[in-house]
Amino acid sequence: MRHIWAVILGSFGLSGIAICSAQIPQAPSRWVQPAAELAGQIADILGPGQAQVTVRNLSTIQAGEIPAIRKLLELDLKAHGIIASGGESANAVRVTLSENVRERLWVAEVVEGSETHVAMVHVDASTATVAVADARMVLQKEKITGLSIRIGGIALDDPVLAATEINGHFVVMFADQISIFSPIPGGWTESNTFLMEKRLSRDPRGVLLANAGGGSFTAYAPGAECVGSYSLPLSGPMAESGWSVRCHTSDDPWPIYQSADASGLPPLKAFYNPARDYFTGVVAPSIGVDLPAFYSAGLIPRAAGGAALLVTEIDGKVSIAENDALRNVAGTRDWGSDFAMVRSGCGAGTQVIASSSGEAVNDSLRAFEIPALEAVPESGPLAMDGTVTALWTAQDGKSAFAVVRDTAGEYEVDRVSALCD
């Protein structure tokens, strides 16, 4: 490859560089191996000689990459003694860059007279990158690698309801179990599971809170409450991660998240309807106003001091309860059911991150401030890789976790942070 560039530079001089670079772009390294393998198979069929080589693309590979792939193939074929020629050759190699739902497939139809043979190779998948919009504040996400893989390497198709990082472990709550994930190079691996009685719901929910001191957690599930405690693991058949979890039946209310800078209201708890997917509207202690049934709630700081309760109602409205009154919040028409608060230190200090979908297939996340009764966007939308099924504030209060279900039905957990721009 380097040799070819040298020839081009020598022939056309400096002014030709840009033109030639565009005509024959450098092939990404991921195509090198499959091109070599396919060329080898073609050579096994055809042997040395001339052949007319055509390449067509039926895959999701960008059109701009095809010339480079073709060049790679021609070079590899040449190394096997096959020279790409014009239409005068009796032999033809028709290469199709194809794919199915599982993998890419490169297929060569090798035509020798009236005989056609087929060669094909698998091609490794590539990854896509996600761009984040520019704004006064920028949201960024980081996938928590490994939380979607269960013991035995099975991809997760059960929803993650909640997760929190405690004592160097990730505690993850599913509909039917609590799992402890331990760190491994580059990610996390499931090291313990503690079964819970599975509640029958197509939209299961839960809350997981690290307790003060970090040595324990409480998990709230529909109709159940679990307490996990940590002790240094001993050698022998003791649980590998050092965690133990005990669950019991409970209809106790679930805690409502309170931002550290939201003072003026006592810690609140809300009663959850275990047969559905929302809170009943009854909170304890009472805040002096009747709340409708809601999906999510959180205590946010107010500019004038004190705190207010922000709720997403089951009819899609977003309201704020303060001063014994419940008022609608404007600018929230496209909000999802869940939100999280993050103390980014940008702007007013605390922002609300909410999900929305708009017309897109996938959801996005966006940061808002609510100085009065209107949600003001503080960031551009951060595109997620599917539908946001859960969203909550991380234990540090400075970031949030989002659970995303992609269109294949698989789940991933992303940590979402806000950066001042």
Which residues bind to other proteins, rule: CB under 8 A? 58, 60, 96, 98-105, 107, 109, 118, 120, 122, 125-128, 157, 200-204, 275-278, 293, 295, 312, 314-316, 334-338, 356-357, 360-363, 385, 387, 406-410
Q: How far is the CB of 125 from other proteins (least distance, A)?
A: 3
Q: How far is the CB of 82 from other proteins (least distance, A)?
A: 20
Q: Are strands 399-405 and 387-393 parallel, antiparallel or unpaired?
A: antiparallel
* Least distance (Å) between residue 100 CB and other proteins: 4
Q: CB of 420: closest distance to other proteins in angstroms?
A: 28
State the virtual CA torsion across 397, 400, 401, 406 in degrees, nearest 10: 170
Q: Report the relative pairing of strands 49-57 and 82-85 from DSSP bridges.
A: parallel
DSSP 287: -
Q: Which is nearer to other proteins, 130 or 238 (CB)?
A: 130
CB of 105 to other proteins, least distance (A): 4
Report how far apart, in Å, the C-alpha atoms of 263 and of each of 111, 267, 352 are. 78, 9, 16
Pairing, β 257-258 against β 294-301: parallel
The closest alpha carbon to 371, from 400, 331, 340, belongs to: 331
CB of 354 to other proteins, least distance (A): 10
Supply the minimum distance, in Å, between the C-beta of residue 145 and other proteins: 12
- Cβ distance to other proteins smaller for residue 171 or 384: 384
* Closest CB to other proteins among residues 98, 140: 98
Query: At residue 30, what are phi and psi to the nearest 5 degrees?
Result: -65, -20
What values do phi and psi take at 150, rounded to 5? -90, 170
Rounded Cα distance between 155 and 129, Å, is 21
Between 148 and 241, whose beta carbon lies closer to other proteins?
A: 148
How far is Cα 353 from Cα 359, in angstroms, rounded to an integer?
A: 19
Report the distance separating Cα 301 and Cα 371, nearest Å.
9
- Using the minimum distance from each CB to other proteins, give the nearer residue, 217 or 278: 278
Pick between residue 261 and residue 277 the one whose CB is nearest to other proteins.
277
What's the maximum distance between 2 C-alpha atoms anywhere in the chain? 89
Question: Three-class SS of residue 119?
Answer: strand
Question: Is 275 or 373 the residue whose CB approaches other proteins more closely?
Answer: 275
